[in-house]
Amino acid sequence: MENKEKLIEAANQMLERAYTPYSKFPVGAALLTKDGKIYGGCNIENAAYPVTICAERTALFKAVSEGDYDLAALVVTSRSQHATSPCGSCRQVISEFCSSDMPVLMTHERGEIEIERTVGELLPAAFSEGDM
């Protein structure tokens, strides 16, 4: 992927914008469209925990709200010593809007890609419109 470094940099920038007064665990995400546009996202916490939103969903919802559905890759990062993987809710949302072969890159505080999976590998047998 030619925009990998740019995408990691964007995720790291979003990490700095995270609002995490409760968990103290900031997460940044960057979503690349097939035409090269990048949507950033960060986790935004709330004292009422269920309304907190993860970085991955923030980036995805920004893209979708702008009408961008042709998505190419996602990077997720944190200040952890090990790669941060999307939670179950995020995996379901990712599978709703991204192709099963789209790469999801997971980095850590040093910005190195530690884990790379496809959407299908992250959520095999995802619940979809076809299951309804």
Q: What residues act catalytically?
A: 56
46 is in an annotated binding site: yes
How far apart (Å, rounded) are the C-alpha atoms in residues 100 and 102? 6
44 is in an annotated binding site: yes
Is 43 known to sit in a ligand binding site?
yes
Q: Is 47 assigned to a binding site? A: yes
Tell whether 54 is in a known binding site.
yes
Q: What is the dihedral of CA 51, 127, 26, 70, to 10 degrees?
A: -110
Do 104 and 94 meet the contact criterion of CB atoms below 8 Å apart?
A: yes
Binding site, annotated residues: 43-49, 54, 87, 90
